[in-house]
Structures are given as structure tokens and as C-alpha cells.
């Protein structure tokens, strides 16, 4: 028999592994949110930024600069340095919201449209910019997507 806590743990591990896939990171056995947190504290590789951009905003050169400034990104690329922990957190939030938008819309194009168009429940701000700003913003976007997925007004 699977207990509710076991089911929640399995669901959380699935979520973490999906986020890792979006970030282009290898899945680890028994990956947990704590391990993902450790990876973000160390700084995600620039390849993760490029991968998420290719998924979420392939034609939008401004996307990268939602995560890291242009000058800092240039410097990091030339020195082969990872993202900072703060930038890594921003990128993880985008990956989290992207995963849910894809689940709701079942299409890259529709998920991108949702993330980049102003939304009335976000004071007419695009969900992507709200999600990048901080975790409360990401949770607001996830709440809208959750209501869309489960049939509530959004």
C-alpha cells in the first residue's frame, strides 16, 4: 500500500527530474529538491541558461537578460563561470513554470504565448516576468496555471 506521503514524495521526485531535464542536467538516482537546491547554490552551468532559452524563448534575445545582465553574461561566458546562486534560482523558477505551462497547454507555442502575453490576474504583466522576479511571483503564475489545469477560473 502506498501512503499519501509516499505518493507526494514520488510526485516531488518526478517534478524534480522534469525540472532537471528542462535545465539539461543529468537525472540522479534519488534526486530530491534538496539536491536541486544544492546545485543552484553552486551555480547552474551556462548551458542550462541556453537550454531553457531554447525551450521557453527561442526567438527572444531579451530572455537571457531577465536572468543575468548582458555584461555579466559576457564575462561569465569568457571565463567559463556558472550562474550565480541568485541567477540559478531565477532560472529554476522559469523551468518550474515552463514545466507546468507545457503540462497545461500541451504545446510549446501555446505555453510560450501564455508566458509572454500580459495577464489580467497579474496586473497585465507577462507571467514570465512575474515568475522571474521572485518565488512569490512564480507561485502566482503556478496558481493561475493550476486553476487552468483543474478547471477553475483563471
Q: What is the mean pLDDT of residues 18-41?
A: 80
Higher pLDDT, 36 or 13: 36
pTM, two decimals, is 0.85
26-36 confidence digits (pLDDT tens)? 765 555 778 88
Residue 142 in contact with residue 150, Cβ under 8 Å? no
The pLDDT value recorded for residue 2 is 42
The pLDDT value recorded for residue 46 is 96
CA distances in angstroms from 99 to 52, 76, 84, 134, 141, listed in the order given = 11, 27, 22, 17, 12
85-144 confidence digits (pLDDT tens)? 999 999 999 999 999 999 999 999 999 999 999 999 999 999 999 999 999 999 999 999
| Pairwise CA distance, residues 154 & 149, whole Å | 10
User: 7 pLDDT exceeds 60?
Assistant: no
β-pair partners for 119: 125
Residue 27 in contact with residue 21, Cβ under 8 Å? yes
Q: What is the mean pLDDT of residues 55-78?
A: 94
| Pairwise CA distance, residues 63 & 13, whole Å | 28
The pLDDT value recorded for residue 150 is 87
Q: Is 119 helix (H, G, I), strand (E, B) or coil?
A: strand
Query: What are the φ and ψ backbone dihedral angles of 119, each rounded to 5 degrees?
Result: -120, 130
Work out the mean pLDDT of the chain and round it to a whole number. Answer: 87
The pLDDT value recorded for residue 16 is 86
Amino acid at each position: 500500500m502506498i501512503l499519501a506521503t509516499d505518493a507526494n514524495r514520488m510526485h516531488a521526485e518526478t517534478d524534480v527530474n522534469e525540472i532537471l531535464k528542462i535545465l539539461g542536467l543529468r537525472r540522479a538516482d534519488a534526486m530530491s529538491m534538496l539536491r536541486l537546491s544544492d546545485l543552484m547554490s553552486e551555480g547552474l552551468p551556462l548551458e542550462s541558461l541556453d537550454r531553457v532559452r531554447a525551450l521557453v524563448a527561442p526567438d527572444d534575445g531579451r530572455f537571457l537578460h531577465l536572468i543575468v545582465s548582458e555584461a555579466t553574461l559576457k564575462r561569465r561566458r569568457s571565463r567559463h563561470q556558472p550562474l550565480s546562486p541568485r541567477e540559478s534560482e531565477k532560472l529554476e523558477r522559469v523551468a518550474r513554470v515552463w514545466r507546468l505551462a507545457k503540462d497545461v497547454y500541451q504545446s510549446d507555442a501555446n505555453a510560450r504565448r501564455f508566458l509572454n502575453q500580459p495577464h489580467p490576474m497579474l496586473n497585465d504583466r507577462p507571467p514570465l516576468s512575474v515568475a522571474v522576479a521572485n518565488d512569490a511571483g512564480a507561485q502566482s503564475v503556478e496558481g493561475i496555471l493550476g486553476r487552468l489545469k483543474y478547471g477553475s477560473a483563471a
